[in-house]
C-alpha cells in the first residue's frame, strides 16, 4: 500500500522565473528607449531574484511531495536554502530522502483553526526522528483538492499510529 501527498517537484519554478525575467527585461527595454543592455541586465537580475529568493521561500508548500509505504516515508528535504535552490534548478536530480518507521520516535499534527467556523484543519505531520531531527510533511495541498481529501489525512494518521504503536497524537495549533 502506498499513498502520496502534495505536488511533485518539477521545472515550473525555473520556467516561471525565466518568463518573469524576460518580462521585466522586455519592460525595461521598452521603457529605456530600446537600450538592449539595460533590458538584459534587469531581466537577469529579476530572474535571479525570482528563482533564488522568492521561489525558495514557498517551495516546501508548493512542491512538498511525499509518499508513505508499508516500511518507509519518502520526502523532499528542504531544510536548507541550498537544498531548495538545487530543487529549483535541478528538479530531476533532486532525490527524495527516506526515513524508515524504525527511525521515527513519534509524530505530531500541526493544525490551523478557522476562527469564523471553528473548524480545525490539519496542516502538517511532524515526524520526530531518533537522531533528533524533525521532518514536516505537508497536508495542506491535498486538503485543497476536490473529492474527499479528509479521508486521506485520516488514513495517514491512523496508518502512522499503527506503525509506531502510538496511542495518542500530540496536536499543535498555529
Domains of the chain: 12-62 (no CATH), 67-173 (2.30.29)
The C-alpha atoms of residue 118 and residue 10 are separated, in whole angstroms, by 36
The C-alpha atoms of residue 62 and residue 83 are separated, in whole angstroms, by 15
Predicted confidence at residue 116, as pLDDT, reads 64
Predicted confidence at residue 167, as pLDDT, reads 67
Residues 42, 50: contact at Cβ < 8 Å? no
The C-alpha atoms of residue 58 and residue 137 are separated, in whole angstroms, by 14
Q: How many CB atoms lie within 10 A of CB 36?
A: 10
Residues 50, 17: contact at Cβ < 8 Å? yes
Predicted confidence at residue 82, as pLDDT, reads 95
Question: Across residues 145-170, what is the average pLDDT?
Answer: 76
Predicted confidence at residue 148, as pLDDT, reads 60
Question: Across residues 150-154, what is the average pLDDT?
Answer: 76
- 79-129: pLDDT as tens digits: 999 999 999 999 988 899 999 999 998 888 888 776 666 666 777 889 999
- 4-43: pLDDT as tens digits: 888 899 999 999 999 999 999 999 999 988 889 999 999 9
CA-based nearest residue to 121, from 165, 47, 43, 174: 174
Per-residue pLDDT band for 151 (boundaries 50, 70, 90) equals: confident
Q: Is the pLDDT of residue 146 over 90?
A: no
Q: Is the pLDDT of residue 147 over 60?
A: no
Contacts of residue 55, defined as CB under 8 A and 6 or more positions apart, other chains included, come to: 13, 16, 17, 84, 88
Predicted confidence at residue 68, as pLDDT, reads 93
Per-residue pLDDT band for 163 (boundaries 50, 70, 90) equals: confident
Q: Is the pLDDT of residue 173 over 60?
A: yes
Per-residue pLDDT band for 53 (boundaries 50, 70, 90) equals: very high
Contacts of residue 8, defined as CB under 8 A and 6 or more positions apart, other chains included, come to: 63, 65
Residue 90 DSSP SS3: coil
Separation of CA 47 from chain center: 21
Predicted confidence at residue 111, as pLDDT, reads 80
Question: Across residues 144-171, what is the average pLDDT?
Answer: 76
Amino acid at each position: 500500500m502506498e499513498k502520496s501527498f502534495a505536488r511533485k517537484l518539477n521545472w515550473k519554478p525555473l520556467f516561471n522565473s525565466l518568463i518573469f525575467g524576460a518580462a521585466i527585461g522586455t519592460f525595461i527595454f521598452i521603457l529605456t528607449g530600446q537600450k538592449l543592455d539595460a533590458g538584459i541586465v534587469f531581466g537577469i537580475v529579476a530572474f535571479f531574484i525570482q528563482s533564488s529568493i522568492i521561489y525558495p521561500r514557498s517551495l516546501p508548500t508548493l512542491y512538498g511531495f511525499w509518499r508513505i509505504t508499508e516500511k518507509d516515508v519518502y520526502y523532499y528535504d528542504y531544510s536548507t536554502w541550498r537544498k531548495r535552490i538545487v530543487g529549483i534548478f535541478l528538479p530531476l536530480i533532486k532525490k527524495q530522502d527516506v526515513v524508515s518507521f524504525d527511525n521515527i520516535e513519534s509524530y505530531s499534527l500541526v493544525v490551523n483553526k478557522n476562527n469564523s467556523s471553528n473548524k480545525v484543519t490539519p496542516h502538517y505531520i511532524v515526524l520526530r526522528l531518533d537522531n533528533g531531527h524533525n521532518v514536516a510533511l505537508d497536508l495542506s495541498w491535498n486538503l485543497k483538492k476536490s473529492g474527499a481529501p479528509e479521508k486521506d489525512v485520516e488514513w495517514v494518521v491512523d496508518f502512522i499510529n499503527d506503525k509506531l504503536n502510538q496511542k495518542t497524537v500530540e496536536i499543535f495549533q498555529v
